[in-house]
Structure formats: structure tokens, C-alpha cells
């Protein structure tokens, strides 16, 4: 049983006319000399770009441009998440050496440093945003500031950037049992340390569907379209969270599960590899993409 979430309706009258321009996306080329793999795509995970990398998942802007240049030079075809999903459902084809670029966490550094590169080389990307943070972007320090609605709308309208939900305010860790083990707030039932009780199924469903519906409405307000892709925080997910998300209209799920994604697999789960780690190089990333595509693993 799902409990319909009560959500605050947001005035969307200003965003009805938004049209996505898909003309900017580079048309895939078949480079016969460099076919590493066919009928599959490797999805790359990036997070943050800063001139002062301070975490493992923060890279300098030069690295991101180097990665994109490498992808083009080495014969990879960067496709949109939409094309990948359609291909996974058997409704579209994939060019050889297909790659999808994804960024998690909705940081403004994506607009500042990655979006100019995407425009320069006409390559698409997916950005998964945490809507409680984009709504309160001003309260964050400059280097970790989230995107704002104007930036999100501009990028979406360019036709190069798709927007997915990374939850409204469930991008956190919570206690999940009496041993005070921690887990992702979206995937697990909360253990209350004061009452020593774990959330009931009904409480879990109510909390999670409210969170995801809020996120959906905010993204609709930004881009005039409801997202159908949910990116699971920390890659934590299970049947419980997938069922709750499906009841809110989400159809496809981005994880941190290692592996590639195959044409006509009919899978709704999208596997990825790490790309935005600052101990990687563009050369190593190339090897990792090919290695992943050649790894035989069930979707
Ligand atoms: Zn995240």
C-alpha cells in the first residue's frame, strides 16, 4: 500500500513554454578504426569541479576538459541519458563506444566549469540535483554552492543537459538499527535513538514519497517537465526504495553499481563507473571505460 504524499503545489505558470533544444547534441560518428565495444554504454560519474580539489571526488576544470577531449579523440561517442534509456528498452540504437556523462549533487561548479566544456564540444550530460539544496543555494559557501533555478533552466534549454532527481532532502545518512549502523536516508527505515523504534513501513513510504514528490514538483517548476530518473544517494537502494519511487512516477534508477548498460536489456537500473576522482587521469579513464565494457556482468 502506498500512501499518497501531500505536497505543496508550486506555481508553474511561468515555465509552460520551455522547449528543450536537442539540435546542439553532437551527432555520433562511427569511427571504424576504433571500435572497442558495441550495443552497450558506459556511464561516467562525476561530482564536483574546483580549482582547489579538497576531496577525492573533486577535480580541476582542466581535467574535465581533458576527459572530454580524450573521449572525442579516442573515438568514444557521448550520448544523452535519454538515448541510453531508449536503447536499453530496445527503442533506439547506440553508436559504438557509447559513453554517458553524469554529474551528481547539483553543484554550481557544473554550470561554471563543465557546462562551457559541454557547449564547446557539443556533448550532453545528466545532472542529478538535490532540490532542498538548489532551493536554498544562497545558504551555501561559494565553492560548494548548489545550482540555482536560472542556471538549471538555461542548461536544460540548451538541449545538452538533462535533469534527474537526487531526492529533495534525503541525501543524508541516518541510523538504521539499534547497533547505530548508518545508511542512506532514502533507502532505509530510520531508527529513532530516543524511542528505540524503527520506522514502520507506512511511515517509511509516507516520508519517502513526500520527499520524492516534492523533488519532482520543484524540478517541474525549474524545467517544465517532471523527471522520470532518480539517482540514488550514495548508491543505496533496494526493493523498498524502488517501489516507493515508482509510485511517485520514477521509471529509471541511477546507481553506483559497477558495470556497463546493454542495448535491449529492458533494465531500469543504470550502472556506472567512477570518473570524477582526482587520483584518475584521462588516460586511465579511457582504460577503465574499455575494461568496464568488456567485463561480462548481468545488468
Ligand atoms: Zn550524491
163-212 confidence digits (pLDDT tens): 999 999 999 999 999 999 999 999 999 999 999 999 999 999 999 999 99
Give pLDDT, residue 8: 34
Which residues make Cβ contacts (< 8 Å) with residue 174, sequence separation at least 6? 182, 183, 184, 185, 188, 190, 191
Classify residue 151: in a domain, yes or no.
Answer: yes
The DSSP call for residue 146 is B
Residue 237 domain flag: yes
How does residue 32 score in pLDDT terms, banded at 50, 70 and 90?
Answer: low
Residue 131 cell numbers, joined: 532540490
For residues 76 and 99, is the Cβ–Cβ distance under 8 A? yes
Residues 6+ apart with CB under 8 A from 48: 55, 57, 58, 59, 105, 107, 109, 144, 276
Show the cell assigned to 296.
Answer: 561480462
- pLDDT category at 252 given cuts 50, 70, 90 is very high
Q: What was the pLDDT predicted at 41?
A: 98
- Asked if residue 10 is part of any domain, the answer here is no
* Pairing assessment for the beta strands 261-262 and 229-231 based on DSSP bridges: unpaired
Residue 24: inside a domain: no
Ligand 1 mean position to 162 CA, how many Å? 16
The alpha carbon of 74 and the centre of ligand 1 are apart by a number of angstroms equal to: 29
Looking at the structure of the chain, the number of domains it has is 1
* Domain CATH code at residue 67: 3.20.20.370
Distance 55 CA to ligand 1 centre (A): 14
Distance CA 68, CA 72 (A): 6
Question: Does residue 19 surpass a pLDDT of 70?
Answer: no
94 in Cβ contact with 87 (< 8 Å):
yes
CA of 172 to the centre of ligand 1 (A): 9
Spatial distance between the Cα atoms of 90 and 86, rounded to a whole number of angstroms: 6
DSSP H/E element including 46: strand 40-46
The alpha carbon of 192 is separated from its chain's Cα centroid by a whole number of angstroms, namely 30
Within a domain: 191: no
Residue percentage of the chain with pLDDT more than 90: 85
Mean pLDDT of all residues in 235-264: 97
Q: Measured in angstroms, how far is the CA atom of residue 28 from the centroid of ligand 1?
A: 29
pLDDT tens, 91-135?
Answer: 999 999 999 999 999 999 999 999 999 999 999 999 999 999 999
Bridge partners (DSSP) of residue 270 are 254
- Residue 39, pLDDT above cutoff 60: yes
pLDDT at 53 over 70: yes
CB atoms within 5 A of ion ligand 1 belong to 104-105, 233
Output the CA torsion 84→88→91→93 (10° steps): 60
Q: Is pLDDT at 16 greater than 50 in this prediction?
A: no
Label residue 159 exposed, middle or buried (CB < 10 Å: 0-12, 13-18, 19+). Answer: middle
Distance (Å) from CA 272 to ligand 1 centroid: 13
Question: How many whole angstroms from 231 Cα to the centroid of ligand 1?
Answer: 8
The rounded Å distance from CA 39 to ligand 1 centre is: 28
Distance 257 CA to ligand 1 centre (A): 14
296 pLDDT tier (thresholds 50, 70, 90) = confident
Predicted confidence at residue 54, as pLDDT, reads: 83
- Does the residue 23 lie in any domain? no
| Structure confidence by residue, pLDDT tens digits, 64-89 | 999 999 999 999 999 999 999 999 99
Residue 178 inside a domain? The answer is: no
Q: Given this model, what pLDDT does residue 30 score?
A: 54
Residue 4 lies in a domain: no
**Strand, helix or coil for residue 277:** coil
Cα distances (angstroms) measured from residue 265 to each of 203, 238, 259: 34, 19, 13
Cα 275 to ligand 1 centroid, rounded to whole Å: 14
Question: What is the domain extent for residue 45?
Answer: 36-171+207-294
* 103 CA distance to ligand 1 middle (Å): 9
Ligand 1 centre to CA of 105 (Å) is 5
Which helix (H) or strand (E) covers residue 129, if one does? strand 125-129
Q: What is the mean pLDDT of residues 12-33?
A: 53
Amino acid at each position: 500500500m502506498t500512501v499518497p504524499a501531500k505536497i505543496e503545489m508550486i506555481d508553474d505558470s511561468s515555465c509552460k513554454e520551455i522547449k528543450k533544444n536537442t539540435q546542439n547534441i553532437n551527432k555520433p560518428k562511427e569511427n571504424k578504426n576504433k571500435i572497442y565495444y558495441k550495443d552497450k554504454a558506459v556511464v561516467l560519474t562525476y561530482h564536483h569541479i574546483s580549482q582547489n580539489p579538497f576531496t577525492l571526488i573533486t577535480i580541476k576544470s582542466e581535467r574535465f576538459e581533458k576527459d572530454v577531449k580524450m573521449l572525442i579523440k579516442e573515438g568514444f561517442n557521448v550520448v544523452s541519458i535519454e538515448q541510453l534509456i531508449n536503447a536499453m528498452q530496445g527503442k533506439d540504437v547506440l553508436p559504438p563506444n557509447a559513453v554517458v556523462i553524469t554529474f551528481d549533487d547539483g553543484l554550481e561548479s557544473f554550470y561554471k566549469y563543465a557546462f562551457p566544456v559541454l557547449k564547446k564540444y557539443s556533448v550532453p550530460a545528466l545532472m542529478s540535483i538535490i532540490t532542498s539544496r538548489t532551493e536554498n543555494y544562497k545558504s551555501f559557501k561559494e565553492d560548494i554552492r548548489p545550482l540555482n533555478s536560472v542556471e538549471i533552466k538555461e542548461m536544460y534549454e540548451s538541449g545538452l543537459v538533462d535533469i534527474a532527481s537526487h531526492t529533495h532532502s534525503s541525501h543524508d545518512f541516518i541510523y538504521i538499527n539499534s547497533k547505530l549502523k548508518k545508511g542512506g536516508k532514502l533507502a532505509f527505515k530510520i531508527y529513532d535513538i530516543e524511542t528505540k523504534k524503527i520506522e514502520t513501513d507506512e511511515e517509511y513510504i509516507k516520508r519517502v514519497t513526500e520527499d520524492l514528490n516534492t523533488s519532482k514538483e520543484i524540478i517541474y517548476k525549474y524545467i517544465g517537465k517532471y523527471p522520470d530518473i532518480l539517482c540514488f544517494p550514495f548508491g543505496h537502494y533496494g526493493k523498498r526504495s524502488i517501489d516507493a519511487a515508482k509510485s511517485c512516477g520514477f521509471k529509471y534508477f541511477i546507481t553506483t553499481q559497477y558495470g556497463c548498460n546493454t542495448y535491449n536489456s529492458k533494465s531500469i537500473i543504470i550502472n556506472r563507473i567512477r570518473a570524477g576522482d582526482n587520483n584518475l587521469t584521462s588516460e586511465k579513464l579511457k582504460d577503465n571505460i574499455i575494461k568496464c565494457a568488456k567485463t561480462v556482468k548481468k545488468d
